[in-house]
Amino acid sequence: MAGADLRTQFAKISDSAKAANDKIKAAGEKTRDQLDADLARAEAKASAAADRLDEKADAAHDEASSRSEEVRRKWQAHVAEVRANIEKKKAKHDLKEAERSAKLALAVALDAIDFAQAAIDEAEYAALDALYAQAEADSRVS
C-alpha cells in the first residue's frame, strides 16, 4: 500500500512540471501587468510549498530529515536573496539595469530548474530505495 502512495506522490511531480511548463509557454502572450500577477501567484505558491517543507521538517527527527532541512534552508536563503535582488532591480527604470535584471532572473530560473531536476533525481532514488526496502522486508517475512 505504501508503494502505491509513493508512486502517486511521485506522479504529482510530472503533473506539476507540466502545469508550470504550460504557464511558462502562455507567458509570452501576456502583458507585463498579467505577468506581474502571475509572478505574485507563483511566489505565494512557492512560499506555501516552503512552509509545507518547514512543517514536514519540524515533524521529522531522523538523520535524513536533518539533511533535507539543511538543503531546504540553503535553498530558502538563496531564494530570499534572489527575491530581494529582484525587488531592488524592479524599482529601477534604467534600460541597462532592466536588461541586467532580466539576465539575473534568467540565471535564477535556470538554477531553479537545475535544482528541481536534481530534486526529482533524488526523489526517484529515495522512492526506489523505499520500495526496495519494503520488498526486502516483505521477502524476509515470507
pLDDT, one tens digit per residue, over 82-103 is 888 877 766 656 777 788 888 9
The number of folded domains in the chain is 1
Q: Is the pLDDT of residue 1 over 70?
A: no
* 30 contacts 41 by C-beta, under 8 angstroms: no
Prediction pTM value = 0.57
* 52 contacts 60 by C-beta, under 8 angstroms: no
In a domain, 57, yes or no: yes
**Average pLDDT score, the chain:** 81
Domain range for 55 is: 2-8+30-136
In a domain, 17, yes or no: no
Q: Which amino acid is at 85?
A: N
Helices (H) and strands (E) in the chain, counts: 4, 0
In a domain, 20, yes or no: no
Q: Distance (Å, rounded) from C-alpha 38 to C-alpha 32?
A: 10
Q: Distance (Å, rounded) from C-alpha 103 to C-alpha 75?
A: 20
Query: What digits encode the pLDDT tens for the residues 41-64?
Result: 888 888 888 788 777 766 665 556
* 72 contacts 53 by C-beta, under 8 angstroms: yes
Alpha-carbon torsion angle 85, 34, 13, 106, nearest 10: -40
- The DSSP letter of residue 38 is H
pLDDT at 45: 84
pLDDT at 38: 86
